[in-house]
Amino acid sequence: MQKNSQIKKIALIGPESTGKSTLCEMLASHFKTIWVPEIARQYIGSLERKYTLEDIEYCTKAQLNEENQLVKKSNRFLFCDSEMIIAKVWCEDVFKTIPGWIEEKIKTNLYDLHLLMKPDIPFEHDAVRENPHRREFFFNWYKRELDERGFPYEVIGGNGGERFNNSIAAISKHFT
C-alpha cells in the first residue's frame, strides 16, 4: 500500500464483463479524479492475429506505465481497470506460464484496495472477450489469489446503481 502517498490506488479485478470499466469511470467521476483504462482491451482488439504471450507482456508493461503516470495526476484516489493478478491469471490460463517479472510486480505494485467484481450481471459479448461460461471459475481464482496474498478487498455485486453504491460503501469503509 502506498505509505508515502496520499493517493489511494484501487484496482478493479474480476472476470470478463463484470462492469469493471464502467465502474472505474463512474467512480472516478464521483470522486473527481481519474482512472486507468485497460490497455489490453484496445491493443488486443486492434490485432489482426491471435494474441501472444509477448502481447500480454507488452500490455501489462504499458498498463503499469500508464498507472505510474496517472497516479501523479490523480486526486485522492486512482482507479485501475486492470492489475497484475489479472495479467498472471491470463498468462497462466492461456499460455500455461507466468513471466517472473509479473509475479514480482504483484508483490511490489501494491493497491490499497481491490474491488472484486461478482459475475452476477449478464455477459456482454465483444471482440476480445473469450470466457462467457467461465466467469465463476475466474471469480474464484481471483478471490483465491487475493486471499493467499492477504490483499485488502471487497466483493462487489449488484445491478446498475446497486453495484455503484456497493462500491462507494466499500471505499468509504476503508478510507473514511
- The pLDDT tens digits of the residues spanning 41-87 come to 889 888 889 999 999 999 999 999 999 999 999 999 999 999 999 99
Alpha carbon dihedral 63, 39, 17, 103, in 10-degree steps, equals -30
Q: Give the residue ranges of DSSP H helices in 31-160.
A: 39-46, 53-70, 84-95, 100-108, 135-149
Residue 145 C-alpha cell reads as 489469489
Distance CA 121, CA 86 (A): 19
Q: Are 100 and 57 in contact (CB under 8 A)?
A: no
For 43, list phi and psi in degrees, rounded to 5: -65, -55
Distance CA 76, CA 54 (A): 34
Q: Are 14 and 142 in contact (CB under 8 A)?
A: yes
For 139, list phi and psi in degrees, rounded to 5: -55, -50
**Predicted pLDDT of residue 131:** 77
> Three-state DSSP class for 19?
coil
**Predicted pLDDT of residue 132:** 75
**Predicted pLDDT of residue 117:** 97
Distance CA 14, CA 1 (A): 20
**Predicted pLDDT of residue 122:** 84
- Percent over 70 (pLDDT), the chain: 97
Q: CA angle, 32 as apex, 176 and 146 as ends, to 5°? A: 55
Instruction: Give the CATH superfamily of 8-175.
Output: P-loop containing nucleotide triphosphate hydrolases (3.40.50.300)
The residue ranges of the chain whose pLDDT is under 70 are: 1-5, 127
Burial code (b: 16+ CB inside 10 Å, e: under 16) for 7-24 equals bbbbbbbbbbbbbbbebb
